[in-house]
Amino acid sequence: MILSITCLLVACHAVETDEDGALLPRTVALSKTKPADGYASHIFVGSVQSSERARLAFAQAGSIGITNVEIGDHVNQGTQLATLEVQPFERRREQARAGLDRARAAFNEVEKRHAAQKSLVERGFFRRLTFESTVAQLEVARADVRTAEAELALSERTIREARIVSPISGTVAQRMAEPGEFVQPGQTIFEIDGDGSLEAIIPVPAAMAAKLSQGVDVILESAGEKIEGKVLHIGERQGRGGLVTIEVLIGEQADGFHPGATVEARFILSQQQGEIVEIPLSAFLPGAAPNRGTVFAFNSDTRRVKQLDVAVRPADGETLLTSSLAPGMLVVSAGVRFLNDGDLVNALPVTAD
């Protein structure tokens, strides 16, 4: 009904007068502002996770040989969780060791020849051109030793990287591969929830997320226990009409709150946001500055409107939030484009309480 009246007022805005030529009051629709904490009584469902979560992977490709833990097991920092089949890496290391031995033997042989020729050259008993060739061979042999040492070090590092060690103390939340599976470098094998603080992950509608800010109090309930938390982070909206993920820091420990537990959340907006109210988008006349403009408040005693400057922020596609107005005020929600401060109006019934 409001939409029809709005279209009528926008399309047919000729000034009406009585038979004496006096201006007639415009007909407008009204809405009543309401507190933005209307969602505080709503329950949103989410889950508990550790605020510290480690996602662990092998640095090398290979087949998993051994896994030492199951989902739900507690591990300490430094615990070895799994290893790849190391035989291929060990063969590579043995080949590298043999290559280093050959390179060192070749270097020693050239070094001895170099020392003998140098002594003869200094006494004039050996051709300098041949000696210079030996010097070049010595440098090549030295470079071969350095290359072989690097290959051995790389093979030893590969063996060290063929295992996963937990960097934190916590609980195994996920195990995503089994022994015998071939895995790629960086492919997540384990997720570990740390023993530290917990957080709740609460998906909410975008309209609700717009009312929240960091630090807002939250009442959380799980397994019959209630504790308090605070909004830690507000995520991005996931697609058109999608939900927004709210991260809530859990401020205390309780038996019912553990990683994976289902939790119910109530956001306490009124304690944080004071007199923030909702107004219809149609009640707002944009100004020159972003998120600033005009609202016309209706006085039921005088039947006149008062032009008020307000700052707003979006709540959803049809609602704005503002702290410039008080709850329960009557504002014009259709016909605002053709009003001036102090105009006398005919008000239609209020459309919202």
The edge-to-edge listing of strands for the beta sheet with 170-175 is 53-57, 188-194, 170-175, 74-75
The DSSP secondary-structure symbol of 225 reads E
Label residue 1 exposed, middle or buried (CB < 10 Å: 0-12, 13-18, 19+).
exposed
* Cβ contact 216:39 at 8 Å: no
Query: What pLDDT does residue 17 have?
Result: 54
Q: Are residues 134 and 175 in the same domain?
A: no
Domain closes at, from 250, 268, 286: 268
> Between 321 and 272, whose confidence is greater?
321
- What is the number of structural domains in the chain? 4
**Model pLDDT for residues 73-124, shown as the tens digit of each residue:** 999 999 999 999 989 889 999 999 999 999 999 999 999 988 888 878 777 7
User: Which structural domain range is residue 293 located in?
Assistant: 2-35+275-350
pLDDT higher than threshold 70 for residue 43: yes
Q: Are residues 58 and 46 in the same domain?
A: no
pTM of the complete model:
0.47
CATH number of 233's domain? 2.40.30.170
Domain closes at, from 242, 268, 294: 268
Q: Where are the beta strands (DSSP E) in 251-342?
A: 262-268, 277-280, 285-286, 292-299, 304-311, 313-314, 319-322, 330-334
Q: How far apart are CA 211 and CA 274, in angstroms?
A: 12
CATH number of 150's domain? 1.10.287
Query: What pLDDT does residue 141 have?
Result: 92
CATH number of 7's domain? 2.40.420.20
Cβ neighbour number for residue 315 with a 10 Å cutoff: 22
Q: Are residues 82 and 188 in the same domain?
A: yes
**Model pLDDT for residues 266-305, shown as the tens digit of each residue:** 887 654 445 678 899 999 999 988 889 999 999 999 999 9
Q: How far apart are CA 62 and CA 57, in angstroms?
A: 12
Q: Are residues 102 and 155 in the same domain?
A: yes
* Cβ contact 263:222 at 8 Å: yes
Q: Are residues 82 and 181 in the same domain?
A: yes
* Rounded average pLDDT over 8-24: 51
